[in-house]
A and B are shown apart, each in its own frame.
Chain A
Amino acid sequence: MSVTVQQYKNFVGGEWVDAAEAGTAEIINPATGEAIAEVPDGTEADVDRAVEAAKSAAPGWRDATPGERAEVLLKLADLIDEHTDELAELESRNVGKPLAAARDEMPVCSDNIRFFAGAARVLEGRSTGEYMQGYTSWIRREPIGVVGQVAPWNYPLMMAVWKFAPALAAGNTSVLKPSEQTPLSTLRFAQLAADVIPAGVLNVITGDGEPVGAGIVRHPDVRMVSLTGDVATGKEVARAAAETLKRVHLELGGKAPVIVFDDADPAQVAEAIKIAGYWNSGQDCTAASRVVAGPQIYDKLLDELVPAVESLQVGDPAVGDEIEMGPVISKAQQDRVLGFLDRAKGANVLTGGGTNGDRGFFVKPTVVVDVDQTDEIVQREVFGPVVTVQRFADDDEALAWANDVPYGLAASVFTRDIGRALNASRKLEFGTVWINDHIPLVSEMPHGGFKQSGYGKDLSAYSLEDYTQVKHVMAKLD
């Protein structure tokens, strides 16, 4: 297969532009290590230009009715549906994910946008009433203004959608920075959107975290910044945003536990972990990365899980649809994941645990046992195809271990007993708790973390609320 290096530009104020200081950067296919595209490498000047464009567009977009905004968003959703194959192929090549998986993401992206298009029209202020005699009150929900949004590399277009769709639906204008590693699908989407969306409402600029991402966070005219990324970056954003008291919306890392009680079905659980732990090479902030299994089911579960994981077909997604898992995103990520395994002294790797072939950034799907709750591999996010399995003694220990990490994004519990399921759903300190499954998301329900997994919700009406501010209007009646 011949590799063509395609040139991309940034999308600012409805125009296609090179980086203000003319820099460019190469984009790599992680399955081969080869360059596949060249994109602008922005600087703070690009941030200034994009924020200016978003600011100019803000009054018009704010005053558009929800119905008018919905119309634009619905057209954007249609564009994704019409270009599913092209966008999925870009995503597959840029992230290294199986083409079928990338294709599955596209209808989710368009559904997310359609949900926010509709939700914008039912966004309501809570009250109209007379709480003091002679006065009446009502609430206006207003957009915040220019919003800066920084997306990650694991689901590039979907994460961009999770950010710009609620922001735009609520009447904000956006400066969006895709990951410097995976900007292609977002830039291509912007090209498609150019004819539909008023100039300056959505701006896409590329470049590294410093200066572009950080520049957005520093910019005084950006009123809110949302980030999906790792915890360290989240903390930097929160600190920098404090300088201008921007609103901050952070969806950070996770270390999702899977509690398997003895009454669960080991085969069903193994199948769920095979998907939830290794989907997208485990590069999912809700990945099922820590299994804590009951004393009776532990051995049976491993008997099912290890062969299930070993059955995964790993390789370059370009080989064909039989490939179920691709590489991780980069050499640095590969080194990081393997580093966790190297440092896990005393642990036993039941399967996996190395690279796969000599080309591309692969890590074999890995199952690790004999780990302690305090071990690094249990405590910190690996963000790769690595699942640890621990054996708990009783229900209290299971819940204690599940909660004993700095993260709080998602968790799951497998049991047929309603008491155990409800007890766990109450005591687990995570923003999402699944019962008898792990990983599915819907547009209508919120996604976001507790503890150091961040604050603010993606998806659902809660996300829309995060992108608005509340105004109380009080009127004297006579």
Chain B
Amino acid sequence: METRLLIRGEQVAGDGGQLAVENPYTESELASVRLPSREQVDAAIAGAREAARGWAATPALERCELLHEVAARMRARTDELAELMTLEGGKPRIENSDEVGWTAAAFDYYAELGRSSAGRVIPPIESTQLSLVLKEPVGVVAAIVPWNYPLLLLAWKLAPALAAGNTVVAKPSELTPLSTLALAECVEHLPAGVVNILAGDGEIGEAIVADGRVDCVAFTGSVETGKRIAHICADRLARINLELGGKDPFIVCPDVAPAIETAARGGAWAAFLNGGQVCTSAERFYVLEPVYDEYLQAFVDYTDSLVLGDPLDPGTDIGPLVSARQRKRVAGQVEAAVAAGAEVVTGGGNGGNGTGYFYAPTVVTGAAADTDLLREETFGPVAPIVRVESLDEAIELANSTRFGLGCNVYTKDLDTILRCMREIKAGTVWFNDPLTDNDAGPFGGMKQSGVGRELGQEGLEAFQETKHVHLETSLAPKDWWYPYGRGQ
């Protein structure tokens, strides 16, 4: 498989080193990607810089039409893009087809939002004045994207950045560069340099982030890398928009007893979707005592019915994890919890799959509150289920980690809903509908789960600067000017 970078509107072979991309289902090499040389990284940033002025001056309606065209081209390539993501990431193909659809939808959404974006006319302080608030692009945006949703998480940066009039240098994860590089076909109708796509690991990412010509860095990934980016950007006060990890709680309240199986299915989906490799995966279940036993039973039964297998097979529910390293990390957290007294009720191990980085969907009970399994991000298909005595306890535990990305609650009780929506420290709170995204709804984290928001109006504003224009129409001198105290 031959891959090309996109630099200054041209698809070119990389002049740098080689990167082997592995298929996590077969554990064999899928492609060898030619990485950009130092000069090519420089050229991509320079290209974005050169294109910035023209793109910012392009009428919003024209940008809108060009972005709709990006969406249309993506939809036309759904099969190709979904297959590439399946091969490089191991996510079930059906989820990847959905992802292409959501990716295109984000472009359609921001095409229109960008067109409608407006500043304000604010009240003047004197009646001879006009005061305007203008919204302008930031300039050159670096978009650094992870491997779990390569296209979707790129779109949540690329689409609003472009809609707001910025140019972009994008870098996918070193584990999943193929689908992103294939995206060049979908943006080739844009003016040269508006979108540049590179590939590479953290070293190339850091070269982009550290470049003084980059005005804003939008990143999705781990907390540790996010902090590293924040440190580098702090030096020149470049703008940052960071969507980092989570340790999302999932609270089940007693009033859902009549629908306990639905709540269990919803929980299992929230925990195991994409092998639990979602930043908003449900990673801690707090179940109120009156429904605990029933919920656990329903959850385990449902988990045991899930099918592990070839992600290209339409009958597969859960594919392999993305890498050997990832599986080791997940297994290590579970082992440590068991060593501290937890019990694996179902799952653990590879589910009988000798090849592929499989980890069976796992339900754990009795985990101690201070184990990493209940404190640090797992990013794997593991559902620790904890019995709690009261809603107070559930909310306190939900808020007890350094993360604050998302939270799920199952209840129809009005008072419980009003309490949870105010008291839970999380960027998103879902009630009775786990993990559903809405392009109009801002997404991102509180606490160490990040800075800024993607999607919605906030997702556009992340890539806009605000300018206040103060216009005095009278040329009369002001009485507060010099000279002081000597009369006029």
Contact = CB atoms under 8 A, between A and B. Distances in A.
Interface of A: 63-67, 120-133, 138-141, 415-419, 421, 435-436
A418 B413 contact: yes
B369 interface: no
A128 B123 CA distance: 14
Nearest to B415: A416
Contacts of A129: 60, 117-119
B132 interface: yes
B327 to A, nearest CB: 40
Contact of B59 (A67, A131, A140, A435): A131
Contact of B127 (A65, A124, A131): A65
B133 A128 contact: yes
Given A65-B125, A128-B120, 13 more contacts: A65-B123, A120-B123, A121-B123, A122-B122, A122-B123, A123-B123, A127-B120, A128-B134, A131-B59, A141-B121, A418-B417, A419-B412, A421-B414
Contacts of B411: 418
A157 to B, nearest CB: 28
Interface string B196-226: 0000000000000000000000000000000
A131 B119 CA distance: 12
B132 to A, nearest CB: 5
Contacts of A123: 123
A250 B80 CA distance: 60
A138 B133 CA distance: 10
A407 to B, nearest CB: 26
A127 B413 contact: no
Contacts of A128: 118-121, 132-134
Contacts of B431: 418
Contacts of B121: 124-128, 138-141
Contacts of A124: 120-123
**Majority-rule SS of B interface residues:** mixed
Contact of A435 (B123, B130, B414): B414
Given A127-B120, A128-B120, A138 B132 contact: yes
A138 B127 CA distance: 17
B17 interface: no
Interface string B50-65: 0000000001110000
A67 B131 CA distance: 14
Given A132-B59, A416-B415, A418-B417, A63 B120 contact: no
Interface string B407-437: 0000111110100000000000001000000
Contacts of A435: 414
B124 interface: yes
B235 interface: no
Nearest to B61: A131
22 contacts: A63-B127, A65-B125, A65-B126, A67-B125, A122-B123, A124-B121, A124-B123, A125-B121, A126-B121, A127-B119, A127-B121, A129-B119, A130-B60, A131-B59, A132-B59, A140-B121, A141-B121, A415-B414, A417-B412, A417-B413, A418-B411, A418-B412
Contacts of A416: 413-415
Contacts of A132: 59
